């Protein structure tokens, strides 16, 4: 069903963020997450600093599929640079 949906913006949480992309541990949701990413014009991930450097069980998508990540102000500068290097906008709140 999600293949027939389109959205301006997708805002979602995720289990892990590394240089290889985003990942999650819920195998039942991964295909739905991938379909939602394909359906959205803009993908925004909300992930606090504890999700960075953490590789959850299943790879979901590369960072190139992500437009923006919203995280907390204590996000390690190393991860901020990783996002910048991959053209992912980083908003610290």
Question: How many Å separate Cα 45 from the centre of its chain?
Answer: 4
* Domain range list for the chain: 2-92
- When pLDDT is cut at 50, 70 and 90, the band that residue 1 belongs to is low
Longest Cα separation, the chain: 39
* Verdict on whether the full-model pTM lies above 0.85: yes
Is residue 2 over pLDDT 70? Answer: no
pLDDT at residue 91, as a whole number: 98
| Residue among 72, 71, 74, 69 nearest 86 (CA) | 69
| Residue among 59, 51, 60, 38 nearest 82 (CA) | 51
Give the span between the Cα atoms of 41 and 55, in whole angstroms: 25
pLDDT at residue 72, as a whole number: 97
12-71 confidence digits (pLDDT tens): 999 999 999 999 999 889 999 999 999 999 999 999 999 999 999 999 999 999 999 999
Within the chain, strands assigned E span 7-13, 16-18, 21-24, 40-46, 58-61, 68-71, 89-92
């Amino acid at each position: 069903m999600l293949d027939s949906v389109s959205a301006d913006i997708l805002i979602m949480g995720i289990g892990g963020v590394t240089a290889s992309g985003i990942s999650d541990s819920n195998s039942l949701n991964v295909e739905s997450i991938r379909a939602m990413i394909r359906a959205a014009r803009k993908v925004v991930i909300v992930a606090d600093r504890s999700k960075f450097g953490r590789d959850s069980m299943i790879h979901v998508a590369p960072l190139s599929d992500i437009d923006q990540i919203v995280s907390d102000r204590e996000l390690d500068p190393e991860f901020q640079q990783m996002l910048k290097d991959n053209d992912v906008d980083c908003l610290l709140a």
